[in-house]
Structure 1
Amino acid sequence: MMLRANIKEALRSLASSKQRTALALLGIVIGIGSVIALVSTGTIVQRESMKQFLEMGTDVLSIQQEWSRRDSGQEQGFRLDEAMDLPYANQAVTDVAPYISIHGSARYQGERMDVPAVGVTGSFITINQLNLINGRFISDLDYLMYQAVLSGGLASKLKALGFQDLVGQDIYFEDRKFTIVGELAPASLGGMRPYEASEGLMIPISTVSRMNTQNRINNVLAVKAGDISHNQAEALIQDYFAGLPRPMKVMVRSAEQIIEHMERQMRMFTLLLGAIGSISLIVGGVGVMNVMLVSVAERRKEIGIRRALGAQKNDIQGQFLMESIILSLMGGLIGIIIGVGVSFAISWFSGWEFQIIYGAIFIGVGVSAAVGVFFGYYPARQAANLIPIQALRSE
């Protein structure tokens, strides 16, 4: 009964001074809202990034040559035959997709645009988990041919300009005419998948080597054999490249390693975001304390009357503490709604899958209650310690 009476009295008191209550709520709303929005968005970004890596499978490895200043005079990158021979000379790898990324100007039926392009082999589509919706993909038979496959992103841009039936048409890239032989379905960005696979143009890797003075391959995607651990695969791949006539050191990364690294970074990022939001919460808590101190000062006579009628110190303290907790919880609930709304808006504009992070909401409610108790204790204690005679004399 006492708890119910304290809640009713707290609500009545807060309703009687709406402007002061609103100002006190503002700090808590901003604090909780910013924490919920930042932590929720950070978690969604982490899950989206992990999903993009896992789309390609955890058996996909990225191989790049290690480079140092001492190697500046040496030829950099892999030759095509060195990369393509890897599955035949090494039991750790079942398939490879070397690629060369370039950037240039494209022209399609009078429309000019800057387009990223990538020289690929036939295995590029399967390792990157890409899907054709029209035509065919680049094959090993397209050696030195001027054939091109449009990514889903580039095809969408051309269709938005009013162009349809793209397969079979010509597109100019760096003033060279390519025939479009295929069109890919839209693919998400991120993970190990090259940017060009989502937004650019794919052409035979041999053709890129002929067009470009930089004809060395900088990146190789490889599929690890299922019965070999990552550490074994890494050691075998490094041994292969170290044993070539032109020995080189390579860096081998797996999706699992990158995901673990991202998780560590996101944990640190989430802690940083939480710390920033905590500053707002402290400011909001001080605002709650100030409001409660003013409330105690204005209600000294009321406190004196209640004490004279037999109310105990704990009754007075409980009433003001309940008022502080309710004030903080109201701000916390409003902040949670705003924070979730901001997170939803960011996810919607970014094209991410929105998820409600219930852990962040529970933390928000708990922190709100804790702020109410911590910053409301001192004013409640002040009210409970008022001497009844002095309180009754106050005006």
Structure 2
Amino acid sequence: MRLIVTTFTGIVFGFFIGVSFPALTTKLNLPSSLLSSIDVTYIQEKYAGVKAPSFVKNNNSISSKNRLINDTLKIWVPSNPRGAERLPPAIIEAETDFYLRRLWGQPSEDLTSKPKYLVAFTVGHNQRNNIDANVKKFSENFTIVLFHYDGRTTEWDEFEWSKRAIHVSVRKQTKWWYAKRFLHPDIVAPYDYIFIWDEDLSVEHFNAEEYLKLVKKHGLEISQPGLEPNKGLTWQMTKRRGDREVHKETEEKPGWCSDPHLPPCAAFVEIMAPVFSRDAWRCVWHMIQNDLVHGWGLDFALRKCVEPAHEKIGVVDSQWIIHQSVPSLGNQGESQSGEAPWQGVRERCRKEWTMFQSRLANAEDAYYKAVGVDMFNSTT
């Protein structure tokens, strides 16, 4: 008797479950991600010519709603960096740095300090002892970057500081080629000042921290250390003066300066050892031409990037250097028509100077024409 009652109860319970099941299925709220994973196309093809089951019709309706919601929720932020308009602004990292990080632990604990400045040298292994002397004049407040034009990098590990430096190696390239490609303003954005120096500078009378104190004191956005006046050829503007901390103007040969506030009498530093503020470098980087690798002509155009240039570009006299004029990069050239390798390099430099001046003049003319300004008849 008990068996009969139990069987009957089970049949009745099963009947009510079966009757209520379709109603339950239509009330389920499945996650949209699960619904989107159902291959509706496959189901429709399988039942082609057959009356579609009710759950397919329901799913089609839900998919249409999902598409409407997705279109509404699509992100598009025009003020985001180009190419990142589809991202929520809070996830964007538009800038980066050269800070070295660990492969383990918490990311927030990686950095015990963050260097405030950066110095980049373009180097060959033969000049390693001179670069070692240079680096020792820069404190731990500096990130050290070495651009290797001779392909030799591992040999630099004889210096302890080299193990913390950033090494970039591409054969037979110049510092301005490297700077254009590896010192993008968004890469060096954390650094207040960027030094872009040659490898053949003597720094016995130079200290980087003291140098920057004077740069800040005198409001210099673009600067260089004074050059020893009795060593090598240099412009009057960049020669060290022994009676002051900083100078911003000079007198050149008669007829060389049409305006005392223009290069080479003012608003001028050379390209062997320039120092840029973060903002000045952002402008200068955009002016560097991809194919003009020697940088000749840049020195006369740096004034385009600060205003007033004759006040914000200057030479620091009390922290000075000696240019050794070692033709190491010139020897990376190739001999052609019986000429020494350095002669071909020097000829290319001169050509680039002319090309850069022409491009800049043409670009300015095009701009003024576009805005309706006649420079020939302008009285300003």
TM-score under structure 1 normalisation?
Answer: 0.19
Greater share of strand: 1
Q: Which has the higher contact order (CA 8 A, sep 6+)?
A: 1
TM-score under structure 2 normalisation?
Answer: 0.20
